[in-house]
Chain A
């Protein structure tokens, strides 16, 4: 079955430190992968998706098909990056499967 794994429930860093939020998936085909973010008291919103290959708010994510990973990275974390981050995938259907999420805390 298709599955998304985010091994870290909580990731704490200091402002200016690099950040990497891990995401691994299990699917034998070619999935479409997304990172969604939920800031405190705000709605769930798209951060980026692999097909667009954009950098949003300094975040990037590279799809590694060999390792079936889609890790989210930012070279210098900011306090406003503190939020819940969900990795998600679709696989040619209208079902979006979410990982369990990683809470990022950025300390001043």
Chain B
């Protein structure tokens, strides 16, 4: 399996809901990432996990809570989101990010709409 998969493809939620986005890879990669991409904008890094530990949090609001249960899975828990959080959420993975030179492989994204 040489792809990053993400579920669900689309998600509509209210501001009081709690939901989770899921990301999975079976390439043996030890670094995983969450990005947010607004329409017609580049992806913006949110979180980085390296060897299942959170290594970077780009000052993301606490209503976004990442979790890395094991080296193949990455979750993003959502709670009390705002309409401006509506975006495409991308997951990516790379083999070993400690040198900062590894190619990142992206999933297809989850398109989130907050009502």
A residues whose Cβ falls under 8 Å from a Cβ of B:
32, 34, 42-46, 49, 51, 86, 90-96, 98-101
Contacts and interface: CB of A to CB of B under 8 A. Distances in A.
Q: How large is the interface on B (under 10, 10 to 19, 20 to 34, 35 or more residues)?
A: 20 to 34
Contacts, number: 52
Given A94-B31, A100-B42, A101-B42, A43 B100 contact: no
Given A49-B103, A51-B101, A94 B50 contact: yes
A94 B107 contact: no
11 contacts: A44-B106, A86-B43, A94-B33, A94-B55, A94-B94, A95-B45, A95-B100, A96-B104, A98-B43, A100-B41, A101-B41
Nearest to B101: A32
Nearest to A101: B42
Interface in B38-97: 41-45, 48, 50, 55-56, 90, 94, 97
B106 A34 contact: no
